Amino acid sequence: MTIRFNLKMQLLLVASLMLLLPWAGCQSVRILETSLRQSNSQLLDVQMTAAIQQFQHTLNQSQHSVFNTHQGNYYAPLTDSKMLLDGFDGEESDWKNITTPWFQLNNYDHVADLSAEAKPDTTVKFKLAINDRLLYIFIQTSALTPHYYNPMQPQRAADQLNIRSINNTGLVSHWQINPQGSGRVEIKNTSQAMTTGRDAGSWLWRDGHYNIEIAIPIDLASNAIGFELILNDGQINQHFKSKPTTTYERSLVREELDLNHQLANYSQPGLSLYLLNSQYWLIGQQNADQWIDDADDDSDQAEPSWFTNAIYNKLFTSNALPYWREPTSQGRWISPQQLEQTTWYQDSPINKQLHSKVIIANGQQFYLVAVQDSRQSLLSASEALNQLLILLFTIIAVIVTGLFTFASSLSWRIVQMKKNYRAAIDNDGKIMAVPAASRLPDELGDLSRVMQQLTINQGKYTDYLATLADKLSHELKTPVAVIRTSLENLELSNLDPEATKYLTRAMQGTNRLSQTLNALSEANKLEQSFEYAQWQVVPFDDMLEELTEAYRQIYSNHQFQLEYEHGDDYTINLAPELIVQLLDKLISNAVDYAPVDQPIRFKLNKINTQLQLSVENQGPHFSSDNIPQLFDSMVSNRQLSDTPHLGLGLHIVKLISDFHHGNINARNLPGDKGVIFELLLPIEHK
């Protein structure tokens, strides 16, 4: 299959090469981005070095001890809201948006002589959260049978929760809860002989297990905390504890609001900061999204467009970089091997740089980690990319529009030239009118002038060919007449039989030549006779009746039939002499091919404002390849015969039909033989 491109498409394809301009510009911006990225890395390293000194001073003044780190630590993330202590932990609870891990309490005490099958399978887990005032605790057990404390029977075994906490000054606090039923509970600080209000927490038994949600002042539990949950049912005494000792507290690692505020001083577009302790717990953080939200409240700066971001992401995202994954999970850094190095990551569709430094404070190792989003830093710092893209695409749009307009103009001129010269020459090759040539001094103008001269020359040559037959006929008639006269004189002489045979052949050749000359001039004379044709309104059915009877007499060996509706009006305006000549040609053609035992049939029908005349005969079928050329000049389907046929008979039929603004066509009848000619003539013609 051949693909063709018109002139406009070709120019558009050529214009597409200008897309190399933005490509080259984007390559320059990509080099600029690489340079800026390296500069940002160096600048970030300098800023983090300065930040380390301040954080080292802050951490040295705070109490971030390594209290029992070999036993493991508990972690409490920071929440900015006051939580409702209702004992619920579902989709609509305050804990839903807090990312905090679950910790397990181990059962260190049970009845020693119980078999393995009889030992309880109860489990206890808890999670923590803090704000600037309180430490929130949520404890959940597996399925169990509750045993509440009865103040009237204080010696009776009951479920109980003990909490041991230590603050930054080393003050130890002992907390005790004795639930008297499912609902609100009191929390007693036995070390200070004080009792909180009844809204201090909830102890619920729901769905077959305990949900315990309480809060204690963070000032009394800022350094360590431990839990001891005692479940008693009279036979089995279960102790779920943080550690199997009397001092069962463990170090509490918490996210601190002061450290978050200090990290916020170093915030910049696309920069996330994390502060980790030696066990990779998150004690401070400042996310880039949080900084952007705060900046949006204070600034009316417009965001980069989606198109700019899309171009930027396509240009500056490297597939060779490792993929970025969220570094923290439930308050802890996931991959410690990322620390103490600078690494670039692909976070589709942008890049991120991870840079970290070590802080030594109070003999402990802390990590300051920075994650820089390259897109935000570059787009917010430079308008070069926007301006470059706008300029380049504006230039391209102007050039492409100009080229497309120019191509459209050229295409329109070519199409008009094609239409003019197609209308100037009819189907027979005659020049109807010579189109005007273009006056523009370009190549298309030259082509138009050359085409005009070629059309004029073709018209002259066509006129010469149109008169050639008549000229040849005129010039050859006299020599042929002289030859005929000479042959006739010889025929009167006494010739021997051998000479008489040759004389007969010469006379036949002369007659054949005369018939050929008459046929050559017949079509030309016919066209000239059109100018003097007389139009008459005649009843076409009566005219056909007379002609059919005449054909029966002329061609007595053949049968002729005429069929039409006698009640219809077949009056028509036409040139009778020309129509008779047309029918003579059709009948002559039919007589040459139709068998004598099959009739030649005329059928006359009236169709709206036209009369349809069909001429059928049972002669052989036309070749399907020759039907479209039947009415062309000098085309004949006859086999070799003694009678000369130049293919002008049906051509004359076509000329007369066109002169009457009618239509003539031929087709094969169904079956093995038979053809039909159909003539359509308008009833009224002026």
Q: In terms of C-beta density within 10 A (0-12 exposed, 13-18 middle, 19 or more buried), how is residue 255 classed?
A: buried
Average pLDDT over residues 400-428: 83
Ramachandran angles phi, psi of 421, nearest 5°: -80, -25
pLDDT at residue 198 greater than cutoff 70: no
Stretch 524-538: mean pLDDT, rounded?
Answer: 79
CATH of range 74-110+120-254; options 1.20.140.10, 2.40.110.10, 2.60.40.1190, 1.20.1250.20: 2.60.40.1190
pLDDT of amino acid 422: 85
Predicted confidence at residue 193, as pLDDT, reads: 58
Q: CA 510 → CA 156, 172, 239, 295, distances in Å?
A: 152, 147, 142, 113
Give the whole-angstrom CA distance, residue 472 versus residue 7.
48
Q: Are 227 and 128 in contact (CB under 8 A)?
A: no
pLDDT of residue 306: 63
Q: Is the pLDDT of residue 12 over 50?
A: yes
**pLDDT tens, 320-329?**
778 888 888 8
Q: What's the pLDDT at 114?
A: 44
As a whole number, the mean pLDDT across the chain is: 80
Q: How far apart are CA 20 and CA 496, in angstroms?
A: 98
The CATH number of the structural domain formed by 433-532 is: 1.10.287
pLDDT tens-place string over residues 494-510: 778 888 888 888 888 88
The alpha carbon of 517 is separated from its chain's Cα centroid by a whole number of angstroms, namely: 70
Top-confidence residue, 546 or 199: 546
**Range name among 10-14, 456-460, 571-575 with the lowest pLDDT average:** 10-14
One-letter identity of residue 77: P
- The mean-pLDDT minimum among 45-49, 339-343, 632-636 falls in 632-636
**Residue with the larger pLDDT of the pair 347 and 652:** 652
> Tens of pLDDT along 150-195?
989 888 888 999 999 998 888 899 999 999 999 999 888 888 656 6
Using a pLDDT cut of 90, give the percent of the chain over it.
19
Q: Which residues, 6 or more positions from 315, have their beta carbon under 8 angstroms from its beta carbon?
A: 26, 29, 30, 33
**pLDDT of 545 above 90:** yes
| 161/187 Cα distance (integer angstroms) | 9
Token pair recorded at residue 34:
């690489």
Phi and psi of 352, rounded to 5°?
-135, 140
pTM check: above 0.85: no
Residue 673 phi/psi, 5° resolution? -155, 170
The winner for highest mean pLDDT among 114-128, 420-434, 572-586, 646-660 is 572-586
pLDDT for position 210: 93
Per DSSP, the residues of 351-419 read EEEEEEEEEEETTEEEEEEEEEEHHHHHHHH--HHHHHHHHHHHHHHHHHHHHHHHHHHHHHHHHHHHH
Residue with the bigger pLDDT between 153 and 351: it is 153
Q: Is the pLDDT of residue 122 over 70?
A: yes
Please state the rounded mean pLDDT for residues 573-601.
90
Q: Please determine, for residue 677, whether its predicted confidence score (pLDDT) is greater than 90.
A: yes
For residue 336, pLDDT beyond 70:
yes
Domain spans of the chain?
74-110+120-254, 433-532, 533-682
pLDDT at 155: 85
Residue 462 contacts residue 431 (beta carbons within 8 Å):
yes
State mean pLDDT over 282-303: 62
At residue 559, the pLDDT reads 92
Question: Among the listed ranges 222-231, 320-329, 567-576, which one has the minimum average pLDDT value?
Answer: 320-329
φ/ψ of residue 119, rounded to 5:
-65, 140
| Least confident piece of the model among 78-82, 212-216, 403-407, 599-603 | 403-407
SS3 category, 621: coil
Compute the distance between CA of residue 482 and CA of residue 480 in angstroms, rounded to an integer.
5
Q: pLDDT > 70: what percent of the chain?
A: 81
CATH 3.30.565.10 for domain 533-682 = yes
Q: Is the pLDDT of residue 362 over 90?
A: no
Q: Using CA atoms, how far apart are residues 136 and 141, in angstroms rounded to an integer?
A: 17
> For position 68, what pLDDT does the model report?
45
Q: Which of 586, 610, 591 is nearest to 661 (CA)?
A: 610
What's the pLDDT tens digit per position in 638-669? 544 455 555 677 888 888 898 889 999 999 99
